[in-house]
Amino acid sequence: MTFINDKTYTHTAPTTVAFLGLGVMGYAMAGHLAKAGHTVRVYNRTPAKAQAWLQDCAAAGIDTARISTADTPRAAAAGAGVVMACVGNDADVRSVCLGADGAFAGMTEGAVFVDHTTASAEVAREMYTAAKQLGLAFVDAPVSGGQAGAQNGVLTIMCGGDNAAFAKAQPVAECFARAVTLMGDSGAGQLTKMVNQICIAGLLQGLSEAVAFGQRAGLDMTQVLGVIGKGAAQSWQLDNRGTTMAGDKFDFGFAVDWMRKDLGLVLAEANRNGARLPVTALVDQFYADVQHMGGARWDTSSLIKRLK
């Protein structure tokens, strides 16, 4: 699979965009920006990854005169109207935004920072305030859709921030998304992503138990999943992970380590707001079991490994 698949882009006029973080998701997201005609400057902590991105863009037929790398987030952000990031956690968000070499130091007044990292609502609000004090805008914009969604340019993006900042970010983000929605004030994007992860955790545990039960009962699970997928049990997880779970295949992008990070954010927020999440807390511990089994880099459907 190529790192970016074919997509029809319907954005506004090309602009200068910086992209910080070329991990599993960001690598393809930045590629779509370049393919769509934007001038893109990228930064990655490992410079070799940024160089590989340039080479892959060239191989995909992208005009190399419009793409470049930078040594720091500040250098990448200089002159960009929109700066996007997809990094690991709260500490990484602060690292690429703040400080002498951070993106905020290089951005010009009126520019928008769009953070696609799945992070806490607290850090989103913190960066929003820091950006506003500098005459900048900040939108928290975590994504859902996994590596395949990034490669195909069909991510779902949940945003928090001001209307004007969202309006500037939305057409750029649509280069790698099928839906970009403003959910409310700063932090609302991250909170929406937490709701998403709560749903996924429960669905995957239920699907794991169902597949394991069916296999022990001697059923043809390909046939079973095909039948129940046409009824009330249907879900994205069943359609896309049911047969691979039955086939003991767990190499589909979103790793257990990352899910545990996300569920940690969920449970911390629930502790603050008083929400009761007994199933989510239990599934988080099941993922810890998978880590102890050596499955830290297996995808999230590997919950079924505990049941075999």
Three-class HEC string of 107-119: CCCCCEEEECCCC
* Average pLDDT of the segment spanning 199-219: 98
Total Cβ atoms within 10 A of residue 138: 28
Catalytic site residue from 168, 193, 261, 305: 193
- Domain layout of the chain by residue ranges: 16-185, 192-307
Q: How far apart are CA 33 and CA 72, in angstroms?
A: 20
When pLDDT is cut at 50, 70 and 90, the band that residue 2 belongs to is: confident
Look up residue 40 and give its two tokens: 């893109």
- 249 as an active site residue: the answer is no
* Average pLDDT of the segment spanning 130-152: 96
N-term to C-term CA, the chain? 31
CA proximity to 120, closest of 260, 259, 266, 254: 266
Query: pLDDT at position 20, please?
Result: 98
Q: So what CATH class is 16-185?
A: alpha beta
List, for residues 222-271, the tens digit of each pLDDT value: 999 999 999 999 999 999 999 999 999 999 878 999 999 999 999 999 99
The average confidence (pLDDT) of the chain is 96
Query: pLDDT at position 163, please?
Result: 98
Of 3.40.50.11540, 1.10.1040.10, 3.40.50.10260, 1.10.10.410, the CATH number of 192-307 is 1.10.1040.10
